[in-house]
Amino acid sequence: MQQDKNPTGKKRSVKLLWNFFIIGVVAFNLLILMINWGWLGYMPSMKELENPSSALSSDVYAADGTLLGRYYVQDRSTSKFKDISPNIIAALLATEDSRFYEHSGIDPIGTIAIPFYMVTGKKRGSSTISQQLAKNLFPRENQNALTLPFLKLKEWVMAVKLERNLTKNEIITLYLNTVPFGDNVYGIRNASLTFYNVPPDKVSIDQAAMLIGMLKGNTMYNPRRNPERALERRNVVLDQMVKYDYLKEADAERLMKLPIVLNYHKLDYHEGAAPYFRQVVEQEVKRVCKELKKSDGTPYNIYKDGLKIYTTINTHMQRYAEQAVEEHISEIQKIFNAQSGYKDGAIWAKYQQYLDQSIKECDRYQNLKEDNKSHDEIIRELSKPVKMKVFAWNDKHYKDTVMSPIDSIKYMKLFLQAGFMAMDPYTGEVKAWVGGIDHTYFQFDHVNINTKRQVGSTIKPLLYCLAVDNGFSPCGIVSTMPQDFPTKKGYNAGGAKYGQLPMSTALALSVNNAALYLIKQVGINAFADFIQKCGIKSDIDKVPALALGVPSISLFEMMGAYTMFPSGGINVQPMFITKIEDKNGNLIKNYVPEQKELINAKTAYKMVKLMRGVIDRGTGRRLRGRFGFTSDIAGKTGTTNSQADAWFIGYTPQLLAGVWVGHDDRYLRFNSEALGQGSAAALPIWGLFMKKVYADKSLDIRTDVTFQEPEGFDNCDGIDPTSLDRSKTTGYHSGYVIPTDTIKDDKEETTW
């Protein structure tokens, strides 16, 4: 037998190999420990792993809990495990980590199999859900061929730490809350709501397969962008679910034949309900976030801290308000465009200076100017027809067309705008808010407190209220003659033909000279002070024309001022947020109604009766005639010079709503007083809205509810409305009857 010639050398080699192996194992474990201790770069703490600092979108809710929209940098939200459908969990495990409940963060079988797949050229992800979660929470930085192994080890360490400190269900939940699904949507809750408009606990098997299938490539397999690829990928996931016994083969075959049917519902800046309202909520929350501090002393961030914002908006009323604005404005827009000077474009020759200014302010002009183009060169460029998308009154609210940028400016400027707001006059809760006709193309909010327009005769009820509260009787007589003031003698704003009028009739017909008479009696300074006591913060010029509505005031402020009439004398400021919670549901800000007694209940009821006359026999009579309302309604119309602004603010015993209609450019307006006055341009929106509100029994806004007379009220005017024949007259007091064909809306002098 031949003996080994060098047994000592062989033993030395084996010993050397064992030494290398032991040193390698020790070095590897030491490396792992150094990574874990953070000696070789930043290692997040367990607290950071459990509570990732990923930016969470803040959600804004309607009064009934309906999600109105989100504010975010990344559209991300969180769910609890119990709120995630088992279909989603099954699809995830079958596709991403079938041995998830068997390993401790690192799958040894999958890891050992890596070289085999590399040799065969097959692609296979070996990372467990825990490893993928680690990578999602702390993405790799400065990755290259040299650093990749170290980064992979770092993810292994984080995965093991997650497994030791969290349950398997907590890891799955954290994973599904952090993964991206495309379209800037993060987290399973947002994904299911965005693509299917269902919460994650209601997701079906095929929907779950589609959502989980997107994780391999959220752009490549996005069903909105690449439906065919998404369908193929969904079916692969269904196959995997069969393979790992989450789904029967027959069921999978049936589901594979189904098309992908999306109910895409991405809540972005423009789309969804109440976009103007969401915009004002955003600004308010940003303001209060500066004052609210987190436990670490830093202020909250509406775009990153996952706040829950609860508002007062009623989704039904909001929908009815948007429908009412669209229905009326789309109709009168046709009439407006058919006017002389507008139909042929001649109006622009008259207002060329304003058009030139708008052209210079547009983005295209500014961009060309930055390219050192001369004014003439820019005008030539902007006069060339190009393909574009512009607003249109159709189902899509836009149309594709070809026109020059200058013509598009002219076209867009001609659209009438509107502002509408409805609120509870007792609590101040805003129920509906429509700031314009379309937020995508017209983002200027016409309800906002910072949007001021001349209010015209809608200010007169405040003047009459001050007079009544200071002893004037609604039964008394007021003069309609021209009035003398220290700064203006013989001021004649209209209505002298009526002579002496009962106060109630003067308001019903909105006689301007009667308002001048009253402001002279109560005092201009006193009236200006009273307006501000009503919660109006806009600048008030102390001039006689204040009685006619010369100030520019927001619809928001006017609504607050009117609350004292239906509420029995209590002034209530509009409130549109009820509370704000942090991402964990902890209350961080609570809102309560801002109320104060401004007038007594008897004065308030006298004003209700006066303003009911506006509806029964005055400038608001269209609500009785055209809309057929027989319910208890009071209100006031308003129209400013040359029909630049049309107003109507009306209320029932349960609801207060106000409307403004006009153009952002005051020089664009109805040529006809009959078409542009408040009763024609604004009031119909109120009527259309209330028709829908009354018809919706779930809202409990009833037609049989009446204004309640205060105890001991002296019905001085002795009117019995049932004794009047409204079909023939608009008489308000016996002996004073005005033929209905003489009724016109108010036309105020609003210059001084």
Domain ranges of the chain: 18-51+101-168, 343-413, 418-581+595-742
Q: What is the pLDDT of residue 732?
A: 26
Kindly state the average pLDDT of the residues 188-203: 90
Q: Alpha carbon 499 to chain centroid distance? A: 50
104-149, pLDDT tens digit by residue?
Answer: 667 666 554 444 444 444 444 558 887 787 776 655 455 545 444 5
User: What CATH architecture is 418-581+595-742?
Assistant: 3-Layer(aba) Sandwich (3.40)
Q: Is 57 left (phi over 0), alpha (psi -120 to 50) or beta?
A: beta
Strands 594-597 and 308-311: unpaired
Binned at pLDDT 50, 70 and 90, residue 738 comes out as very low
Phi first, then psi, for residue 475 (nearest 5°) are -85, -15
pLDDT at 53: 55
Query: In sequence order, what DSSP letters do the residues of 107-163 get, joined into one string?
Result: -HHHHHTHHHHHHHT-------HHHHHHHHHS---S--TTTHHHHHHHHHHHHHHHH
How far apart CA 168 and CA 337 sit, in angstroms, is: 65
Q: For residue 104, what pLDDT is reported?
A: 67
Residue 296 has what pLDDT?
Answer: 83
Query: Could you tell me the pTM of the whole model?
Result: 0.77
Of the two residues 464 and 737, the one the predictor is more confident about is 464
Output phi, psi for 58, to 5 deg.
-95, 135
Q: In Å, what is the CA distance from 462 to each residue of 527, 559, 630?
A: 8, 12, 25
pLDDT at residue number 307: 94
- Edge-to-edge strands of the sheet including 308-311? 67-71, 58-61, 308-311, 577-581, 587-590
Strand partners, 488: 485
pLDDT tens per residue across span 645-685: 999 999 999 999 999 999 999 999 999 999 999 999 999 99
627: which residues sit within 8 A by CB, 6+ positions away?
Answer: 687, 690, 691
Q: What is the mean pLDDT of the chain?
A: 85
Largest CA distance in the chain: 145
Which residue in this structure is represented by tokens 């028709």? 691
The whole-number pLDDT of residue 130 equals 79
pLDDT tens for residues 317-367? 999 999 999 999 999 999 999 999 999 999 999 999 999 999 999 988 998
Residue ranges of the alpha helices (H) in 590-647? 601-617, 622-625
Q: How many CA atoms lie within 13 A of 621 on its CB side?
A: 24
User: In the predicted model, is pLDDT for residue 414 greater than 80?
Assistant: yes
Q: How far apart are the first and last CA of the chain?
A: 129
What tokens does 24 get? 């390698």
What is the percentage of the chain residues whose pLDDT exceeds 70?
Answer: 81
pLDDT of residue 24 exceeding 90:
no
Contacts of residue 411, Cβ cutoff 8 Å, sequence gap at least 6: 390, 403
Contacts made by residues 740-745, CB under 8 angstroms, sequence distance 24+: 740/621, 743/509, 743/618, 743/619, 743/621, 744/619, 744/673, 744/674, 744/677, 745/510, 745/619, 745/637, 745/639, 745/673, 745/677, 745/678, 745/679, 745/680
Q: For residue 430, which phi and psi values (nearest 5 degrees)? A: -75, 125
